[in-house]
Structure 1
Amino acid sequence: MNDTVSDKVHIDQGRQQKIAGISSVLGSTIEWYDFFLYGTMAAIIFPQLFFPQQDPYVATLLTFSTYAVGYVARPIGGILFGHFGDKIGRKVSLVATLILMGSMTLLIGLLPGYEKIGLWAPVLVTILRFLQGIAIGGEWPGSVLISMEWGTKKNRGFMATLPQIGVPLGLILGTAVTSLFITISGESFQTWGWRVPFILSILLVIIGLVVRFNLLETPSFQKALKEKEIPKLPFVSVFKHYPKQVISGVLSNVSSDIAFGVFAFYTTTYGIKYLALDKSIFVNATLIGAIVAVFAISLSGYFCDKINPKKILGFGNILLILWALPYFYLLNTKSTAFIFIAVIIAFVIHSIMWAPLAPVIASSFPAHLRFSGSAITFMFRGLIGGGVAPLVSTYLLNKFDSGYAISWYIIFAGIIALFAIRYVDIKYQKAD
């Protein structure tokens, strides 16, 4: 009889592990599709749509400022959803983040431009972007934890990296849909074509919700709840008892977000505005790079259970430092082939860093504070990293009139990360 019960538990664990993995990848893909779609449109059309009375440089700065607002909101979302994720459960928070992100993305797609409602257009798009950021603030840590905590000691590192695959998948989906409607709508892209990718998001949200409703709470959270370890204000406990984990986690991973902000988003603006090349070259290069990244993240995630994730993270930062200067050299050739090579290699290097980021951050905190700790660390990293990367890149290019200035910005971030990795503590990786 005990064997039967044991088998049943094992089967349920295996089933939940599969559902958790699928849910994490799917939910993460949807959330990042919504989030990155804004970044793509910010590079292509939003300066003309929401800031048409500004000169091109100012319009680009203002557009990327609204992009950065999403990152400013992330820590708020991390604290908010982290509180409920540690108090009520991972599942409830994940359902809420998906609904919030999908609703805001739909409203962006329905928002009138500056020509129709004047200043209300940039004001409203900024508010919607802010609420998107709050949703991402709860989505990433929730997805990582629901997947990692349903994993076993043998595959926990890989399970934690599954939501990371949602980033390139979301970028692929967003870029592909944008490219499709650029082709379909033609000259009408500025009037209605850009709206369709945002509106279609609601269909993805419905699919994601169906999967998430089949999830159960993780054993780690149930154990913490049973043992009454949950504090009244989890985020306060994180700052009080685990400041080292937060600081080292932020600084050791900030370079990956800066790199992604440059590689995935600012490169398109650089190519269009500075190199005067067709936007399709960079949209397609980003699409191919994101496809390659899906496999690179999976491979890097696999080795997180074979090698200490800190070593993989450090190796990725070394590669980033070495590639920063050649990256802009290849872009400046204006050769389509070299541009594709530069972007694809950049995405592979970012993938090597991106996969171990999840287990490194999540495993730095005990179960009863893991949601809040992971959320706070990841979101503050994004705020000082990817959130300002396009803005800083725009400023550096305008001041120095050279992409190499951006290269040194990336190199500086990589050096800081290498130093901070030494202080990362992941002792909770297989503890519960």
Structure 2
Amino acid sequence: MATPSTTAPAKAGPSKKGIFAASFVGTAIEWYDYYIFGTAAALVFGTAFFPGFSSVAGTLAAFATFAVGFIARPLGAAVIGHYGDRIGRKSMLVLTLLLTGGATFLIGLLPTYDAIGIGAPLLLVVLRLVQGFGVGGEWGGAVLIATEHATPRRRAVYGSFAQFGVPVGVLTSNLAFLAVSAMDNDAFLSWGWRVPFLVSIVLVFVGFLVRSKLEDAPEFQQVKEQREVSKVPVAELVKRQPRQLILGSLASIAPPAVGYTVIVYMLTYGTTVIGFERTTLLTLILTSTAVWIATIVLAALLSDRFGSKKVFAFGALTAVIWPLPMFGLVNTGDTGAALLAFVVAAFVQGVMAGAQGGLFTELFDVKVRYSGISIAYQLGGMIGGAVTPIAATSLYGAYESSTPIALYVTALSLVSLLAALGIRTVPAAPTAVDAGRRDTAVSSAG
């Protein structure tokens, strides 16, 4: 007869639905905020905030403002990650939501260049910096609040909760701009573009209510109870796990490189070079997000079965292959061909996204995990996301061909593929909750 366990019953954690809501809803809201800026940069900011520039120069200036947010993201990852590793995941997730949402709402109230001159683009840059700082700490916290509540065999599925927020953010931001882009052009440029920014305050309120009910996972609570919290997580991370940080950062380049080529640059390229209507491109990108979401689910399930590293590497390989065919399809000017281009690109992103949350959780020790995955994700995002629209615009201006752009995205994706192949994961540390589960199983078997 089995000896009764003396281990105290583990405190019941939040439900799977609660974890999903906290991870997904807040992330979806923050990426909605972030992507409407990218859409506005492609469609209106060149005219509203940089009217004295030529068409190409105005677009470059608008994309540069878009890129400023990426510069702030690694800083936000380091600062918010520091306190996330020391104080807790929950409080930082609430902070990131308020920073990003508040900045987005204020962008919707900004006067244009015609109203206040140089002050307008300067204020836009400041608010973009705040927005980027908040987003810098968002993804890491949203992933960890899910994966640290999961068993090791379900980490990829739980890690995918936060990843759903990215395509849903694209979906809702495109829907918002699609709703106002059918307006008369003068009305759209005057006030219509502001509506998607202003309505975000309602979404922030919803996200705040959901995240305020969160609890930190037992794995992190155990670190705090045993007083093993790192004093300076970033310093410890750089000292003890530099290889993981570098490889994780490089692996993170491909997803935003492909994503922002489609979501941001294609809006400019497709309308000004190929001749698509603005609403047509928004609709095509919106439609492709359904494939993106479905692929995240499939990739997460496969990751828990075959390993996150293998699935992510496969996604990076597809990212190496697809840019040339993608531009070739868009260049036909045919709506069906462009839809196919975006659908496959969504599949490419979804494969990497479904594996990334689980993979990155396994890269770093729990004491420095918030800092580690946040910094790695944001450094990769800065290279792959911030630079790509600017590089694409410059490359087309220099060569008047999409081939150099496609080769550029292919090269970035190849870097990510090689980095992913070199990654080594860290086994999950057992927690008191895991021990309680094992004791329950032993007692039941006895």
What range is the shorter-chain TM-score in? over 0.9
Equivalence for 2:27: 28
User: In structure 2, what is the Cα distance between the partners aligned to 1:168 and 1:430?
Assistant: 31
User: In structure 2, what is the Cα distance between the partners aligned to 1:380 and 1:349?
Assistant: 20
User: In structure 2, what is the Cα distance between the partners aligned to 1:97 and 1:322?
Assistant: 35
Equivalence for 1:404: 403
After superposition, the Cα gap between the structure-2 partners of 1:399 and 1:204, relative to the gap in structure 1 and judged at 3 Å, is same
The superposition leaves residues 313-346 of structure 1 with CA deviations (integer Å, 9 ceiling, x where unpaired) of 1111222222111111101100011111111111
AA in 1 matched with 2:100? M
Give the superposition deviation at 1:17. Answer: 3.5
2:36 is the counterpart of 1:37: yes
AA in 2 matched with 1:306? R
The superposition leaves residues 89-138 of structure 1 with CA deviations (integer Å, 9 ceiling, x where unpaired) of 00000001101111100100000001001001110001100111100111
AA in 2 matched with 1:406? I
Equivalence for 2:386: 387
After superposition, the Cα gap between the structure-2 partners of 1:301 and 1:430, relative to the gap in structure 1 and judged at 3 Å, is farther
Equivalence for 1:323: 322
After superposition, the Cα gap between the structure-2 partners of 1:18 and 1:2, relative to the gap in structure 1 and judged at 3 Å, is farther
Give the superposition deviation at 1:187. Answer: 3.9
User: In structure 2, what is the Cα distance between the partners aligned to 1:202 and 1:394?
Assistant: 32
Equivalence for 1:197: 196
CA contact (8 A) 1:256 1:353 kept: yes
Equivalence for 1:338: 337
Give the superposition deviation at 1:357. Answer: 1.7
User: In structure 1, what is the Cα distance between the partners aligned to 2:169 and 2:429?
Assistant: 29
After superposition, the Cα gap between the structure-2 partners of 1:79 and 1:187, relative to the gap in structure 1 and judged at 3 Å, is same
Give the superposition deviation at 1:62. Answer: 0.6
Listed as ranges, the gaps of 5+ residues in structure 2 are 432-446
The superposition leaves residues 135-157 of structure 1 with CA deviations (integer Å, 9 ceiling, x where unpaired) of 01111100000011111233122
User: In structure 2, what is the Cα distance between the partners aligned to 1:284 and 1:389?
Assistant: 22
AA in 2 matched with 1:23? A
Equivalence for 1:111: 110
Equivalence for 2:262: 263
AA in 1 matched with 2:399? F
2:147 is the counterpart of 1:148: yes
CA contact (8 A) 2:244 2:424 kept: yes
**Any residues of structure 2 matched to 1:33-432 within 5 Å, and which?**
33-183=32-182, 187-429=186-428
Give the superposition deviation at 1:167. Answer: 0.2
User: In structure 2, what is the Cα distance between the partners aligned to 1:380 and 1:265?
Assistant: 19
CA contact (8 A) 2:159 2:356 kept: no
User: In structure 2, what is the Cα distance between the partners aligned to 1:183 and 1:90?
Assistant: 41
3-state secondary structure, aligned to 2:191: coil
3-state secondary structure, aligned to 1:365: coil
User: In structure 2, what is the Cα distance between the partners aligned to 1:255 and 1:166?
Assistant: 18
3-state secondary structure, aligned to 1:385: helix
2:18 is the counterpart of 1:19: yes
CA contact (8 A) 1:359 1:429 kept: no
AA in 2 matched with 1:61? L
User: In structure 1, what is the Cα distance between the partners aligned to 2:407 and 2:280?
Assistant: 25
User: In structure 2, what is the Cα distance between the partners aligned to 1:78 and 1:128?
Assistant: 17
AA in 1 matched with 2:313? G
User: In structure 2, what is the Cα distance between the partners aligned to 1:297 and 1:324?
Assistant: 20
After superposition, the Cα gap between the structure-2 partners of 1:314 and 1:30, relative to the gap in structure 1 and judged at 3 Å, is same
Q: Compute the TM-score of the two structures, normalised by the length of structure 1.
A: 0.96
User: In structure 2, what is the Cα distance between the partners aligned to 1:429 and 1:285?
Assistant: 41
Give the superposition deviation at 1:277. Answer: 2.2
CA contact (8 A) 2:313 2:421 kept: no
AA in 2 matched with 1:267? M
User: In structure 1, what is the Cα distance between the partners aligned to 2:163 and 2:41?
Assistant: 23
Give the superposition deviation at 1:422. Answer: 2.3
The superposition leaves residues 48-97 of structure 1 with CA deviations (integer Å, 9 ceiling, x where unpaired) of 00001100111111100011011000011001101110111000000011
3-state secondary structure, aligned to 2:216: coil
Give the superposition deviation at 1:186. Answer: 5.7
Between 116-125 and 181-190, the greater mean CA deviation after superposition: 181-190
AA in 2 matched with 1:313? F
User: In structure 1, what is the Cα distance between the partners aligned to 2:108 and 2:54?
Assistant: 25
User: In structure 2, what is the Cα distance between the partners aligned to 1:167 and 1:257?
Assistant: 11
AA in 2 matched with 1:312? V
User: In structure 2, what is the Cα distance between the partners aligned to 1:133 and 1:382?
Assistant: 11
Calculate percent identity across the aligned residue pairs.
34
Listed as ranges, the gaps of 5+ residues in structure 1 are none
The superposition leaves residues 146-182 of structure 1 with CA deviations (integer Å, 9 ceiling, x where unpaired) of 0111112331221012101100001100100110122
Give the superposition deviation at 1:256. Answer: 1.5
After superposition, the Cα gap between the structure-2 partners of 1:430 and 1:268, relative to the gap in structure 1 and judged at 3 Å, is farther
Q: Larger Cα Rg: Structure 1 or Structure 2?
A: 2
3-state secondary structure, aligned to 2:250: helix
Give the superposition deviation at 1:270. Answer: 0.7
AA in 2 matched with 1:250? S
AA in 2 matched with 1:290? T
User: In structure 2, what is the Cα distance between the partners aligned to 1:43 and 1:214?
Assistant: 37
Count of residues in correspondence between the two structures: 428
Q: Compute the TM-score of the two structures, normalised by the length of structure 2.
A: 0.93
AA in 2 matched with 1:49? A
Give the superposition deviation at 1:185. Answer: 6.1
AA in 2 matched with 1:358? G
- When the two chains are superposed, the root-mean-square deviation of aligned CA atoms in Å is 1.7
Give the superposition deviation at 1:286. Answer: 0.8
Between 104-113 and 254-263, the greater mean CA deviation after superposition: 254-263
Equivalence for 2:443: none
Between 223-232 and 114-123, the greater mean CA deviation after superposition: 223-232
3-state secondary structure, aligned to 1:22: helix
Give the superposition deviation at 1:383. Answer: 1.2
AA in 1 matched with 2:50? F
User: In structure 2, what is the Cα distance between the partners aligned to 1:213 and 1:32?
Assistant: 19
CA contact (8 A) 2:303 2:310 kept: no
